[in-house]
Chains A and B, each alone.
Chain A
């Protein structure tokens, strides 16, 4: 089961180490992790995605909560959250017409196009994992030279009273 966990932590040195070490020492798996400072500079928010069955997921949440440097641990409901990942893909240009084709695909997926060269092009796609995978599938044929992804970053949707 794929889950998104949002963890508000103290913004101080060593906290990322503690979180990743917890996953290592308890034999849990991290699929992706993204970290950044929040509106309050005392806190950072980490978004962790993990594939774990229910019992293990419950343990992960409890063990994270037990860490003294975690302030809030939440399991996000995909339907009630916004989650995105940013991916940079360097794609091979085999013949000049590839540039137009790839750019059209990129436009259809609302991607940004960077660094257009004779032999390669970089596409920036910010989307959900499903859409990113769909795009990757479509451009695979040209040859993907390099990929860099940020990992999922997520926020719960707001709720009006």
Chain B
């Protein structure tokens, strides 16, 4: 055993886990860690606010499907990543957050920059460690990666007191760890899968609801095989958007508050749903009681606690969604079951056609549908798209078709404004060879726009597609709809100028005022090797429609008039 400091052992342990990049910001209580980072081969991406470090690690983790790592110091450094941790937890994203802590003897003494980050983050982490001796660090790191990445992924916090970083010891590096009380591998019950098949086959109007679990487990091929074998139409949750190619004949798109009209309509007409890796969030299903009326629910999920949490389940298949779907497809092939068009398929296709022909789009020349379809037209299919949070996000859900599965990411659970841009930078770090675009609103982009410095200086160029309506558009829409147009706290008054903001950071800023400009701007951005902000002035009056008001059912969907 080699004698080394706790900080050094952290770096070695991270390298052993394959970490080659971390996102962070140094401070007093993590200086020993940074000093070892200086000596290591791990690339450091400096952020201008720790929240962005956590979102970058999150974006990196979702795209690479390996935990992204972020560093922050104690006290405010640690509390600044709380939103990022909560976002990762809400969307089951793998992430390791390493925080410095005041020296162990100072803990509880209200020391300078002390915060009880273990206590603060307790309900929003998958697990948290606070090693009290350098000898514990490699084991803690190994356990952290194991817990974060397996089962239902999530954020893990490692809080290391400064003296534990500094102290030297003979430190063991375990090659295997066991976590008693944690059982992420559950083999799906074959009899349950057989029952699920029977239930699907006996249904007249079956539908597949694909959630984020399909993306996390990369079950794209399995999902597509199943849908095609049984000719079952596929709707997704918003988190599951792009788990199934949205140009596929069986695709209906996302359901929910701002789901596709045809998806919501067909969901309410279905008599049996196979939910794959979905947690039946209120934003997806509306009121729980109304959703499950006359509906047989088959629920596949890796997390047993999701079964029956919001919905009554008729058949539960617990286990990795990809494994479960694979077994299901195999059984169907063995039993030589294949279905062709049914009257239900005809009904689904007619409904889809009807809404695609008749749904009124906003007439403005830079209406959301026109803009996002233009973006889709110009962007290569393999491009990764993130979004901020707000109207533009829901328009992206409605009008931006994801062709290649697993290329669309958004803060869907927590709905964190400011997530999309740093997450896009993290995504770019994970996949530097593909274009990365953040579909943004200016209000949301404003929250973490200082990551432009990181994007430029650390050479992680992404495109920020700002649909600028000079307001906090989603809130404005709710004030127009539910508060009798009493508009307060939503007017952003065209401030700042995003082209100048981009230029101030050494990035490229382009204002695009026609659809043609937009296409050209995206092409320019794709060809350049620097971060590009495309500022597109849109109509502040455009609402996101269809709309299922909160507390109502998918049946009560409001359509554009």
Contacts and interface: CB of A to CB of B under 8 A. Distances in A.
A62 B179 contact: no
Contacts of B308: 55, 58-59
A71 B119 CA distance: 21
Q: Is the interface of A mostly helix, strand, loop or mixed?
A: helix
Contact of A17 (B119, B179, B303, B307): B119
A157 interface: no
Interface string B113-150: 00000110011001100000000000000000001000
Contacts of A18: 122
Contacts of A55: 308
Contacts of B123: 21-22, 25
Given A62-B304, A62-B305, A63-B305, A70 B119 contact: no
B305 A66 contact: yes
Contacts of A66: 303-305
Interface string A3-44: 000000110001001100110010000000000000000000
A59 B309 contact: yes
A71 B180 contact: yes
Contacts of A68: 126-127, 147, 179, 181-182
Nearest to B156: A68
A107 B557 CA distance: 69
A54 to B, nearest CB: 10
Contacts, number: 37
A25 B89 CA distance: 14
B420 to A, nearest CB: 27
Interface in B136-181: 147, 179-181
Interface string B215-255: 00000000000000000000000000000000000000000
A14 B118 contact: yes
Contacts of A14: 118
A70 B309 CA distance: 20
Interface in A50-80: 55, 58-59, 62-63, 65-71
Nearest to B308: A58
Contacts of A9: 181
Q: Which of B147, B181, B303 has the most CB of A within 10 A?
A: B181
Given A59-B305, A65-B305, A66-B305, A10 B181 contact: yes
Interface in B289-329: 303-305, 307-309
Nearest to A25: B123
Nearest to B309: A59
Contacts of A63: 305
Contacts of B309: 59, 62
A9 B180 CA distance: 10
B180 A17 contact: no
A10 B180 contact: yes
Contacts of B180: 10, 71
A67 to B, nearest CB: 8
B122 A17 contact: yes
A62 B182 CA distance: 13
A65 B127 contact: no
B181 A69 contact: yes
A70 B305 contact: no
A65 B184 CA distance: 12
B147 to A, nearest CB: 7
B177 to A, nearest CB: 12
Contacts of A25: 123
A5 B126 CA distance: 23
Q: Which of A10, A14, A58, A68 has the most CB of B within 10 A?
A: A68
Q: Which of A22, A66, A70, A71 has the most CB of B within 10 A?
A: A66
Contacts of B118: 14
Interface in B172-198: 179-182
Contacts of B119: 17
Contacts of A17: 119, 122
A71 B181 contact: yes
Given A59-B305, A66-B303, A21 B122 contact: yes
A17 B126 CA distance: 15
Nearest to A14: B118
Nearest to B307: A62
Nearest to B118: A14
27 contacts: A9-B181, A10-B180, A10-B181, A14-B118, A17-B119, A17-B122, A21-B122, A21-B123, A22-B123, A55-B308, A58-B308, A62-B307, A62-B309, A63-B305, A65-B304, A65-B305, A66-B303, A66-B304, A66-B305, A67-B181, A68-B126, A68-B127, A68-B147, A68-B179, A68-B182, A71-B180, A71-B181
Given A17-B122, A66-B304, A68-B179, 10 more contacts: A10-B181, A14-B118, A21-B122, A22-B123, A25-B123, A59-B308, A62-B304, A65-B304, A66-B305, A68-B127
Interface of B: 118-119, 122-123, 126-127, 147, 179-182, 303-305, 307-309
The 3 closest A-B pairs by CB, nearest first: A62-B305, A71-B181, A25-B123
